[in-house]
């Protein structure tokens, strides 16, 4: 055999991520970040959804962020292969930020026996594996630290649903023999979320709260060792911290109950601890309203009697005051959701149904970023929210699970060129087009054996009245979301 001619030799090794335990192709830039505007002229005046954001030295490549979503797939608190694939898949698709779901910093802080935990050093390696992979892809990943409170020791929704379908009409409390902790469910007051169904909680003692703060510090130190980019404190959806802030669930008579100042004492203490121990971005998720106007009238009582709390339930007025106090402590972003603490809630569902809360907070607080979430399902809807300055970032939850490629699809629909994962780049030739040099892109695709029109890449989009696809090779726009959504937030 003769030696190959020098002109046939490709002398460059495949770029790889240094110090990663297996071969992982090196991404030239963060997935989902805009390509060089000098080459891709369409990126010179980008939509706000694709603007980079920097918080305390952490650079988020765009403003389409993944909200925390419980997976109920952990093994005694440990992340499993499901979590590695779940979060790793998101990292390959260009989301500007990924957040690990509600994670208990004490065992009884989990919702279900299958929820994630971070109460033990033994949990560190499993999270580190996930974080290292996301970082290997140049992605950003954080974690939500949570305590379920009176909603703990209950079954995963899909587990309960299976038995309800088979005729189960009993309660929703997991017994000890199935991994639950029914006699050790703490809450601010001994008030069940759903009497006769959910656990009967015990009132958390001041001693317990002190031990909880120590566990919280330990969890933050584990987050540092793991390498998370940010932490979010879960103070929403009727879980422990929300239960403390809310007069519906907090009937204490000590320093942690009664007045507004007392009810917000614990979350402010935890936020202060986190800010002192954690130098990177710190977020806080809040339920902005109990949605109880129809049942209980105004959030603030007009004629409170002596000794009576002037607030009837937790709503946007208290949330706004509380948010400013979080900002003053150095919390960087308020993640605005709603509901979850009272079964009488009447949520007015529809596209962007929680946006007005975020907009209100943004207009009435200072020195804190605002994130919004809730039935935000299209690129233009998300971008309009940012362009109209109603929020600073957009969180996506169920839309991530329905359409994991949403960030790159959004780039295509909004007319910009974002960086796909190198392994998937041929799926995005229709987006990664130099507006003044389409022939170069077409030539490169052909040389690698992938024609630009394969896989519906080159077909003209059509919009059909019914929003359904057809077997004609056309790419159809998704139908708009319904005016009223029937799912539970």
Residue 461 has pLDDT above 70, yes or no: no
Asked if residue 395 has pLDDT above 50, the reply is yes
Average pLDDT over residues 392-396: 98
| DSSP sequence for 454-488 | GGGTTSPEE--TT----TTSPEEPPPPPPSS--S-
5 in a structural domain: no
Query: Strand, coil or helix: what is 276?
Result: helix
CATH number at residue 219: 3.20.20.70
Kindly tell me if the per-residue pLDDT of 47 is higher than 90.
yes
Q: Read off the pLDDT band of 104 (50, 70, 90).
A: very high
Please name which of 322, 309, 313 lies closest in space to residue 294, comparing C-alpha atoms: 313
**Position 459 pLDDT exceeds 50:** no
Q: Is the pLDDT of residue 453 over 50?
A: no
Tokens (6 digits) for 248:
């519906």
Strands 53-55 and 58-60: antiparallel
Phi (first) and psi of residue 49, to 5 degrees:
-60, -25
**Burial classification of residue 239, based on how many CB atoms lie within 10 Å of its CB (0-12 exposed, 13-18 middle, 19 or more buried):** buried
Per the CB < 8 A criterion, the answer to whether 44 and 37 are in contact is: yes
Number of CB atoms found within 10 A of residue 160's CB: 15
Angle at 342 between CA 283 and CA 216, to 5 degrees: 35
At residue 131 the predicted structure's pLDDT band, cuts being 50, 70 and 90, is very high
pLDDT at 311: 96
Distance in angstroms (rounded) separating the CA atoms of residues 98 and 380: 21
| Residue 306 is assigned to a structural domain of this protein | yes
Q: Is residue 485 situated within a structural domain?
A: no
189-218 average pLDDT score: 98
pLDDT at 73: 98
* Within-domain flag for 235: yes
In a domain, 34, yes or no: no
Q: What is the mean pLDDT of residues 175-201?
A: 97
Angle at alpha carbon of residue 356, lines to 350 and 360, rounded to 5°:
170
Backbone angles phi, psi at 376, to 5 degrees: -105, 110
Rounded Cα–Cα distance for residues 73 and 67 (Å): 17
DSSP E strands: which ranges in 205-314? 231-235, 282-287
Closest CA to 322 of 362, 267, 375: 267
C-alpha closest to that of 98 among 226, 223, 233, 228: 228
- pLDDT of 428: 96
Which pLDDT band holds residue 2 (cuts at 50, 70, 90)? low
Q: Which of 40-49, 89-98, 300-309, 378-387 has the lowest mean pLDDT?
A: 300-309
Stronger pLDDT, 487 or 60, i.e. the higher one: 60
Mean pLDDT, residues 415-438 taken together: 88
Question: What does the pLDDT read at residue 304?
Answer: 72
Is residue 241's pLDDT more than 80? yes
User: Which single residue is written with the structure tokens 């000590």?
Assistant: 254
Does residue 52 have a pLDDT over 70? Answer: yes
Please, which pLDDT band fits residue 476 given cuts at 50, 70 and 90? very low
Please tell me the distance from the alpha carbon of residue 269 to that of residue 259, in angstroms, as a whole number: 16
- Verify whether residue 353 is a known catalytic residue: no
First to last CA, the chain: 68
Answer yes or no: is 222 within a domain. Answer: yes
Residue that has been written with the tokens 């002398």 in this structure = 11
94 touches 419 (CB < 8 A): yes
* Mean pLDDT value across residues 319-324: 98
Domain around 265:
43-413
The answer to which of 3-7, 81-85, 119-123, 347-351 has the lowest mean pLDDT is 3-7
pLDDT for the residue 396: 98
Number of compact structural domains in the chain: 1
In a domain, 462, yes or no: no
Report the C-alpha gap between 171 and 238 in whole angstroms.
19
Which residues lie below 8 Å from residue 479, measured CB to CB, with a gap of 6+? 466, 467, 468
pLDDT at 458: 35
Confidence of residue 5 (pLDDT cuts 50, 70, 90): low
In 249-400, the DSSP E strands lie at: 282-287, 333-337, 369-372, 393-396
Tokens of 281: 């971005």
What is d(CA 92, CA 30) in angstroms, rounded to the nearest whole number? Answer: 10
**Of 239, 256, 353, 424, which residue is the catalytic one?**
239
Judged on CB neighbours under 10 Å (0-12, 13-18, 19+), 36 is exposed
Q: What pLDDT is recorded for position 302?
A: 84
Phi (first) and psi of residue 319, to 5 degrees: -60, -40
Please report whether residue 37 resides in a domain. Answer: no
- Helix or strand or coil: residue 231? strand
pLDDT band at 436 (very low <50, low <70, confident <90, very high): low
Instruction: Report the length, in residues, of the chain.
Output: 489
Q: How far is CA 116 from the centre of its chain?
A: 15
State pTM to two decimals.
Answer: 0.88
CB 241 within 8 A of CB 266: yes
pLDDT per residue over 6-41, tens digit each? 789 999 999 999 999 999 999 999 999 999 999 999
DSSP three-state, residue 193:
coil
Alpha-carbon gap, residue 206 to 193, rounded angstroms: 21
Biggest alpha carbon distance in the chain?
A: 99
User: What pLDDT is recorded for position 309?
Assistant: 82
């Amino acid at each position: 055999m003769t030696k190959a001619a020098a002109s046939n030799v490709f002398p460059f090794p495949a770029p790889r991520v240094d110090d990663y335990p297996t071969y992982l192709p090196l991404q030239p830039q963060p997935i989902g970040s805009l390509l060089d505007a000098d080459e891709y002229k369409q990126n010179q005046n980008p939509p706000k959804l694709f603007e980079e954001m920097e918080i305390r030295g952490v650079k988020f490549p765009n403003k389409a962020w993944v909200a925390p979503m419980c997976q109920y797939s952990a093994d005694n608190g440990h992340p499993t292969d499901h979590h590695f694939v779940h979060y790793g898949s998101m990292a390959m698709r260009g989301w500007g930020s990924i957040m690990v779901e509600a994670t208990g910093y004490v065992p009884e802080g989990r919702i279900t026996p299958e929820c994630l935990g971070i109460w033990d050093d033994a949990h560190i390696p499993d999270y580190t594996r996930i974080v290292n992979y996301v970082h290997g892809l140049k992605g950003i990943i954080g974690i939500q630290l949570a305590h379920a409170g009176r909603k703990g020791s209950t079954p995963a929704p899909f587990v309960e649903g299976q038995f309800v379908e088979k005729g189960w009409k009993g309660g929703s409390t997991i017994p000890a023999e199935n991994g639950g902790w029914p006699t050790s469910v703490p809450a601010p007051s001994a008030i069940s979320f759903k009497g006769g169904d959910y656990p009967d909680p015990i009132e958390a003692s001041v001693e317990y709260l002190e031990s909880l703060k120590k566990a919280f510090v330990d969890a933050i130190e584990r987050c540092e060792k793991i390498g998370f980019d940010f932490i979010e404190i879960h103070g929403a959806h009727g879980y422990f911290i929300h239960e403390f802030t809310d007069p519906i669930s907090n009937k204490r008579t000590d320093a942690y109950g009664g007045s507004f100042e007392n009810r917000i004492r614990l979350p402010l203490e935890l936020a202060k601890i986190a800010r002192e121990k954690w130098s990177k971005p710190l977020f806080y998720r809040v339920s902005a309203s109990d949605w109880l106007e129809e049942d209980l009238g105004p959030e603030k009582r007009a004629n409170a009697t002596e000794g009576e709390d002037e607030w009837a339930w937790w709503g946007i007025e208290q949330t706004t005051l509380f948010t400013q106090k979080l900002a003053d402590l150095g919390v960087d972003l308020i993640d605005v959701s709603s509901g979850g603490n009272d079964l009488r809630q009447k949520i007015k569902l529809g596209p962007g149904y929680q946006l007005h809360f975020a907009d209100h907070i943004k207009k009435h607080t200072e020195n804190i970023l605002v994130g919004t979430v809730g039935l935000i399902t299209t690129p233009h809807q998300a971008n309009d929210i940012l362009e109209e300055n109603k929020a600073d970032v957009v969180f996506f939850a169920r839309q991530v699970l329905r359409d994991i490629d949403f960030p790159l699809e959004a780039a295509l629909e909004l007319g910009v060129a974002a960086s796909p994962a190198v392994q998937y780049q041929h799926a995005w030739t229709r987006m990664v087009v130099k507006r003044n040099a389409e022939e170069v892109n077409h030539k490169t695709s052909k040389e690698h054996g992938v024609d630009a029109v394969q896989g519906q890449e080159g077909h003209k989009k059509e919009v059909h009245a019914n929003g359904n696809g057809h077997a004609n090779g056309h790419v159809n726009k998704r139908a708009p979301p319904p005016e009223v959504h029937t799912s539970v937030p």
